[in-house]
Amino acid sequence: MSPGVDMPIFSEATSSEVFAGRLPQQKGNQLAQLMVAVVEHVHDLIREFRPTQDEWRKVIAFLTEVGHASDERRQEWVLLSDLLGASALVEEINSKRPKGATPNTVRGPFFRDDAPERALGASISLDGVGEPLSVSARVQDLDGQPVAGAEVITWQANAQGFYENQQPDLQPEYNLRGLFRTDPDGRIRYRTIVPKGYGVPDDGPVGRLLANAGYPLRRPAHLHFVVRAEGFDTITTHVYDRNDPHLGEDALFGVKPELLRDFRVTGTDNASTKTLDFTFVMVRAKPGRPR
């Protein structure tokens, strides 16, 4: 088949245009529009930096390595999205909330949706290693009314800065993870240990790439939470140690003033413990909007 006279010819100047011309142009085809936009940006970058074939093969090799490093315990693609600020930007766009509501942050790569349900007051520290921390929280709506029966999922790093699914041979299964349900006053309470801030994993392709570029890979000390309740937007957020020195360089861009808390010391010198108390403020879901 000989090419027609009107057939667009692929060249450096027309590459993205030729690609776009092969996609259906019907109105409302958002997938096609997104693909065109992505390809235009990729082709613009290639024209700007003009990589050699060997350099481009290294880009493909990196993406391949990211895929190979992802499994049921570790999600290297999520880590890449998080460290590039893409996950945080998607959250900012999709979870705008009124003043007074708890802001969303990213879940991070170590979330597990199968955290076991635990009784109020129970400990999520299954190995007991670390400085004790007593946590209490209240879940309420914008009017200050309690949200009873809400699910509160929590997970955190241990005293060395590692999550349980990073160390399956060193920590008990589901260590420092739990699901609690709020009481009629909208409250939960549980026992844990003080988490430590940590360096983002640099033993995989994403961490190595950004470390080589000189990017800070620190996370300040924090606890993660997902709060779910019927009729409300789900909250996915952190609570940070206000005194952590790395708040200004959080690698996942999650630090917000509303999420800073003091880990207070209570009791006597002989029987002191650290406590953390805070409130989650939920927003009622709009009809037809996924929670």
Residue 290 lies in a domain: no
Do 32 and 170 belong together in one domain? Answer: no
Do 28 and 84 belong together in one domain? Answer: no
Q: Tokens standing for 97?
A: 């909330």
Residue 71 lies in a domain: no
User: Kind of pairing, strands 260-261 and 235-241?
Assistant: parallel
On whether the CB atoms of residues 212 and 196 are closer than 8 A, the answer is: no
pLDDT score, position 13: 93
pLDDT score, position 152: 98
Residue 8 lies in a domain: no
Do 81 and 155 belong together in one domain? Answer: yes
Do 46 and 88 belong together in one domain? Answer: no
* Most distant pair of Cα atoms in the chain: their distance: 89
Number of domains into which the chain is organized? 2
Residue 97 lies in a domain: yes
Burial of 261 (0-12, 13-18, 19+ CB in 10 A): middle
Phi/psi at 56 (5° precision):
-70, -35
Phi/psi at 151 (5° precision):
-85, 130
pLDDT score, position 269: 64
Domain end among 34, 50, 66? 50
Q: Tokens standing for 140?
A: 């309420």
Owning domain of residue 25: 15-50
Do 113 and 227 belong together in one domain? Answer: yes
Cα–Cα distance measured from residue 227 to residue 234, given in angstroms and rounded to the nearest whole number: 6
Do 97 and 202 belong together in one domain? Answer: yes
Do 98 and 194 belong together in one domain? Answer: yes
Do 273 and 176 belong together in one domain? Answer: yes
Give me the CATH number covering residue 265: 2.60.130.10
Per-residue pLDDT tens listing for the chain (291 residues) = 455 557 789 999 999 999 898 888 777 788 898 999 999 999 999 999 999 999 999 999 999 999 998 887 778 898 899 999 999 999 889 888 999 999 999 988 889 999 999 999 999 999 999 999 999 999 999 999 999 999 999 999 999 999 999 899 999 999 999 999 999 999 999 999 999 999 987 888 998 999 888 888 899 999 999 999 999 999 999 999 999 999 999 999 999 999 999 998 876 666 678 999 999 999 999 876 555
